[in-house]
Structure 1
Amino acid sequence: MSDETPEKIRFGRSQKFRLSQKGTEAVTEYKLMLEKARSGSGRAQFDAARAAWGVPFNLTAEDGLFLVEFSEGDRTLPEATRNLDGCGTTAKEVKAAVERLLACGMLEAVVAPPPPVAPPRRYW
C-alpha cells in the first residue's frame, strides 16, 4: 500500500466556486484564442489552438470550457453540471475538473457568509 494515496476532497452540494485571478487571466486568453481560431480553417486548427492555449497555464484543452462556465459567476457543482449538460460532460467530469482547477489555483471556493445572529430571547 502506498502512503501517497490522494485524499478525496468532499464538497457540500451548496459549495460555490469562482475564478481566481489566475483563472480570470486564463479565461481572457481562452476567449482571445477562440476569436483567432474562428478566422482559421477548420477543426484541426481549432484543436491545435486550444492545446497551445493550455500549455502556459499547465491546463488541458478541455479546461477552457470549465473555466468559461465559472467565469459567468459563482457556481455549485450541480449548477455547472446542469449548464454543461449540452456539451456532453458528466457530473464526474465536472467534479474532476473542479478538483484539478482548484489544485492549480484557477478556481477558489467561495466562503459562505456566516448565519445571521438570532436576536436575544426576552422572558418577561
Structure 2
Amino acid sequence: MTALGKALHCKAEFDVTSKEARLTVETQADDATHRAYSLLTGSLNSNGLEMNIEGLLNFEDGCGTHKGTLTFGADGLATSCMTTVEGSSLTFENTINAGIDGDGASMSVVSKGSAQDNTIELSAEGIRFHPKKRI
C-alpha cells in the first residue's frame, strides 16, 4: 500500500504439516527519510517451540535494532534479546539472557550507554534457584 509518499507492506505465512507448524510475519513501512522493518518467525515441532524476532528502525538522526529468540522444549525455556539505539550523540545497548531448566532458573542483563563524553554500564545476574528434589 502506498499513499502520500509512504509505503506499508505486510506479509504473513502460516504452514502446517503433520510434523511441524511454521509462522512468518514480515512488515515494512517506509517514507522518504524513515524506515521500519520487522520479521517474526516461529516453528513448533517435536523438538519444541522456537520464536525469533528482528526489528529495525531508521530515522533522520539515527537507528535502532532489536533481535530476540525464545525456545521452549525438553531442555527447558530459554530467551535472549538485544536492543541497540544509535543517535547523533547517543548510543544504547541492552542485552538480556534468561532460562529455566531442570537445574533452576537464571537471568542476566547488561545495559551500556553513552552520550557525548559520558558512558555508563550496568550488569546484573539473576539468582539461580534449585528446585527441591523429590524422592
Report the TM-score range of the alignment, normalised by the length of the smaller protein. Answer: under 0.3
Q: TM-score, normalised by structure 2?
A: 0.20
Higher relative contact order (CA 8 A, sep 6+): 1
Q: TM-score, normalised by structure 1?
A: 0.21
Bigger share in strand: 2
Bigger share in helix: 1
